[in-house]
Structure 1
């Protein structure tokens, strides 16, 4: 890996095996439900990125600095402390949707949810679609 490549890369690991291996039963059920939701909303097959991120779609970016690479278009990771949901290039434009979502926290491109029961998954589906539309305005999104 060159120093300019992303640390997180797509792998050949099985998404189904990864999901089945999530230890906590509620987190595992939530992760399986998220997989179903992301597949339905995006129409993309999931791919493991690194050891713990499930990605749907991908995009190639080139920054003004010349740095370029590939990354997942959207996805999630069932972390021990919360579900991390990734919307690229971030949540800055989606405050109205976030206000309707339910209990969550945000980072720049991460949405943290303790459990799916805390949020409205219909609003999450809207957020995923809006994120993909926003990303496609910057870089073309390709299926996985």
Structure 2
């Protein structure tokens, strides 16, 4: 049976951030922590060993696979900081066009540092992700 890898844990968010080796990435993580918390209205929670998530939703795919995930999240990785939002749509794509220096995948957006991006656009991306996921997966 499938075991979901990304689960909410009781690990301490601040302790995790304090263990980020690069001082600039650590400072950026605190900045992102404040932005995500303020924008989502949710407290930060560790998901797996390295993702800081805000809020949660329960998904069920047509295949029957189901699980829980954060509404929005980030992870200060060694190479780049990963930002996790709902998968792309035209609204997300339009926001990313004005976001600043980044690369992106299906659900992840990667940045080198917070100074490279427009934090107001980041707040819009977070809000768009939360709204989309709460609409797509309303609580039962």
Where on the TM-score scale, by shorter chain, does this alignment land: which range?
A: over 0.9
1:91 counterpart residue number: 88
CA distance in 2, matches of 1:42, 1:5: 28
Superposition RMSD on alpha carbons, in Å? 1.1
Q: Deviations over 1:1-51 (max 9, x none)?
A: xx3332111111100101111110100000000000000000000110111
C-alpha displacement of 1:66 = 1.1
Which has the larger share of strand? 1
2 CA distance for matches of 1:105 and 1:96? Answer: 14
Q: Match for residue 15 of structure 1?
A: 13
Q: How many residues align?
A: 138
TM-score, scaled relative to structure 2: 0.94
User: Distance in 1 between the 2:105 and 2:138 partners?
Assistant: 24
User: Within 5 A, what are the aligned runs for 1:92-111?
Assistant: 92-93=89-90, 94-111=92-109
Unaligned runs of 5+ in 1: none
Match of 2:57 among 49, 56, 59: 59
User: Corresponding residue for 1:135?
Assistant: 133
After TM superposition, the structure 1 stretch with the greater mean CA deviation from structure 2, 124-133 or 91-100, is: 91-100
Q: Distance in 1 between matches of 2:48 and 2:66?
A: 18
Give the match's secondary structure for 1:51: coil
Moved over 2 A (4+): none
CA distance in 1, matches of 2:19, 2:43: 19
Q: Equivalents in 1 of 2:138, 2:27: separation in Å?
A: 32
Matched residue, 1:32: 30
Measured in 2, the distance between the counterparts of 1:5 and 1:97 equals 34
TM-score, normalization: structure 1? Answer: 0.92
CA distance, structure 2, for counterparts of residue 105 and residue 91 of structure 1: 13
Structure 2 alignment gaps of length 5 or more: none
